[in-house]
């Protein structure tokens, strides 16, 4: 008989967390715990996902209530998609209460975040990007950056990225990709990344479907030789958030297997997941 993995999604009522919760409810291998840690700015005490009510727990009461939840549900894995300012505080909380977690939130002190897990009795998957295909692409370029440092020497790099209107900062993925190309000789400045946040331009000029204007990530990296006779272009255009949700749920199963095999005080990445899925 298959034993379902119990999962608590923290960061509701955020849109990404709602989507994750909906996917969990449709996955026969998972059980959604009907509670979620939320921020102090949230003024509601519950939400409904696919007909299931989930109670929201603010910072003031979470220490007391988590013990009751643990008594009721036993061992479970937490998925954390809260605000970047809460990343390190949440990691300390998970370590204190022996709650293994998958964290896809960017920001915070990453070194301190990892040290918190390493010094605890729990293990975690921590990654700024949970789409394993994009992470795999980055790994390939990282290999090139380390082994072919002059591959694109003298080439001109052009970088364009488009995300939903409410994303204020430049794409972290685009910045990472620029670093790989620079290590291969391009000498591109991050502030030259072309950023698009205007829905009208995204739809009419870029051709992004209207249904995904409020949730997408389109990236283009174009390399042109000094004499203009050779051009290389890499694109990864993501509509919606399904690819990230799929990666997150894979990370849950990956972490559960690691825990079953005795993993304690370990930090895993999406690269670890990709390697494990190919063995």
Residue 266 falls in the annotated catalytic set: no
Residue 167 falls in the annotated catalytic set: yes
Interstrand relation of 77-80 and 5-10 (parallel, antiparallel or unpaired): parallel
Question: Which entry of 23, 132, 163, 266 is annotated as an active-site residue?
Answer: 163
Residues 6+ apart with CB under 8 A from 148: 184
CB contact at 8 A, 125 and 103: yes
* 3-state per-residue secondary structure call for 96-121: HCCCCEEECCCCCCHHHHHHHHHCCC
The 8-class DSSP code of residue 2 comes to P
Question: Which entry of 70, 167, 175, 253 is annotated as an active-site residue?
Answer: 167
Torsion sign across C-alpha atoms 169, 173, 174, 175: positive
Beta bridge partners of 37: 57
**Residue 73 corresponds to which tokens in the numbers above?**
């549900």
Q: Which residues are catalytic?
A: 163, 167
């Amino acid at each position: 008989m298959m034993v379902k993995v119990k999962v608590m999604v923290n960061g509701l009522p955020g849109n990404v967390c709602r989507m994750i919760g909906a996917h969990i409810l449709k996955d026969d291998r998972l059980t959604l715990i009907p509670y979620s840690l939320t921020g102090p700015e949230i003024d509601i005490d519950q939400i409904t996902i696919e007909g299931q009510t989930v109670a929201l727990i603010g910072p003031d009461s979470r220490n007391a209530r988590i013990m009751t939840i643990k008594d009721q549900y036993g061992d479970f894995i937490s998925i954390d998609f809260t605000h970047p300012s809460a990343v390190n505080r949440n990691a300390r909380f998970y370590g204190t209460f022996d709650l293994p977690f998958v964290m896809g939130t960017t920001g915070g002190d990453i070194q301190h975040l990892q040290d918190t897990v390493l010094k605890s009795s729990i293990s975690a998957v921590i990654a700024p990007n949970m789409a394993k295909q994009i992470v795999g692409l980055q790994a390939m370029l990282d290999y090139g950056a380390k082994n072919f440092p002059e591959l694109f020497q003298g080439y001109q790099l052009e970088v364009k990225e488009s995300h939903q209107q409410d994303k204020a900062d430049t794409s972290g993925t685009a910045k990472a990709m620029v670093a790989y190309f620079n290590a291969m000789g391009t000498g591109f400045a991050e502030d030259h990344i072309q950023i698009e946040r205007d829905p009208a331009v995204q739809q009419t000029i870029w051709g992004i479907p209207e249904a995904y204007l409020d949730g997408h990530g389109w990236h283009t990296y174009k390399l042109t030789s000094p004499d203009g006779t050779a051009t290389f272009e890499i694109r990864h255009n993501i509509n919606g958030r399904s690819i990230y949700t799929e990666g997150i749920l894979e990370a849950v199963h990956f972490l559960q297997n690691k825990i079953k095999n005795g993993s304690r005080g370990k930090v895993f990445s999406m690269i670890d997941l990709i390697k494990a899925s190919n063995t």
